Amino acid sequence: MALLWHLSFVLVWNFLGASAAIFTFQNKCPYIIWPATSSGAGKPPLVNGGFQLGPAQAATINAPTGWSGRFWARIGCTFDPSGKGRCATGDCGGVLQCNRAGSIPPASLAEFTPNGTQDFYDVSLVDGFNLPISIFPSGGTRNCGSVICAADLNRACPPELVVAAGNGARVACKSACLAFHQPQYCCTGAFNSPTKCKPINYSQIF
Ligand SMILES: *[C@@H]1O[C@H](CO)[C@@H](O)[C@H](O)[C@H]1NC(C)=O
Ligand SMILES: *[C@@H]1O[C@H](CO)[C@@H](O)[C@H](O)[C@H]1NC(C)=O
């Protein structure tokens, strides 16, 4: 469905040398999203951890040298003038500015770990899915590929993993680990290694 290309959250990652970076957030959804960020241990918070971004809007954030952390998008939020409220998905504890608070799953995550000569980045669905996120790096000295997660997995989400809004709309898809808390879905206990925790029906949906 062509529409899916418009229902996404896009991050353009500009390298500035020595691992400082500019992140440009583009909201390609036809509704407001509230991007959120949490920083890695010892790294400063960016933009106090969250802001509002309307349909077709873009916002730019400067990250200092060596910053690591993650971004996600919150949907269906209401905040009062003091910045307290809640979101249907991706909430970080009822505040607009997440500061150091992480996302309450499920939420799609964009993760960045600058590493000096080699930087790591990915889109992770380990905490489930709420909307498509893509990452387009630019200006790097290496061959840095785009990460395009374009599918709306809420449509393919099995009923036992669905998170629905009050009106019944599917707004997010839980991981099987979050839904069932069992070692074979969480790669814990007897399943605590890649050889023992193989892709299974639920993880393959993602
Ligand atoms: C970069 O990544 C490698 C491999 O994961 C790790 O061994 C190294 O400590 C990292 N270096 C920095 C500066 O974070
Ligand atoms: C996945 O496999 C489990 C265990 O065999 C089964 O109970 C469940 O119904 C399956 N779910 C889907 C969506 O295939």
Q: Which domain holds residue 135?
A: 2-149
Is the residue at 154 inside a domain? no
Peptide bond into 44 cis (omega under 30): no
Q: Which ligand is nearest to the CA of 160?
A: 2
Instruction: Give yes or no: residues 170 and 85 share one domain.
Output: no
Q: Which ligand is nearest to the CA of 158?
A: 2
* Cα 158 to ligand 2 centroid, rounded to whole Å: 9
* Angstrom distance (rounded) from CA 188 to CA 206: 19
* Cα 30 to ligand 1 centroid, rounded to whole Å: 39
| Pocket lined around ligand 1, Cβ cut-off 6 Å | 115-116
Is the residue at 169 inside a domain? yes
* Cα 66 to ligand 1 centroid, rounded to whole Å: 12
Per-residue pLDDT of the chain (206 residues; tens, 9 = 90+): 223 333 467 777 766 555 578 899 999 999 999 999 999 988 888 999 999 999 999 999 998 888 899 999 999 999 999 999 999 999 999 999 998 889 999 999 999 987 777 788 999 999 899 999 999 988 877 778 899 988 899 999 999 999 998 888 999 999 999 999 999 999 999 999 999 999 999 999 99
How many structural domains are present in the chain? Answer: 2
Instruction: Give yes or no: residues 108 and 186 share one domain.
Output: no
Q: For residue 118, what is the DSSP state?
A: S
Is the residue at 181 inside a domain? yes
Q: Quick one: how far is CA 23 from the chain centroid?
A: 14
Q: Which ligand is nearest to the CA of 68?
A: 1
Instruction: Give yes or no: residues 183 and 133 share one domain.
Output: no
Phi-psi region of 123 (alpha: psi -120 to 50; beta: other; left: phi over 0): beta
| Pocket lined around ligand 2, Cβ cut-off 6 Å | 158, 201-202
Last residue of a domain, one of 111, 129, 149: 149
CA dihedral 23, 8, 165, 89 (to 10 degrees): -20
What CATH number should be reported for the domain holding residue 81? 2.60.110.10
Last residue of a domain, one of 127, 149, 171: 149
- pTM here is 0.89
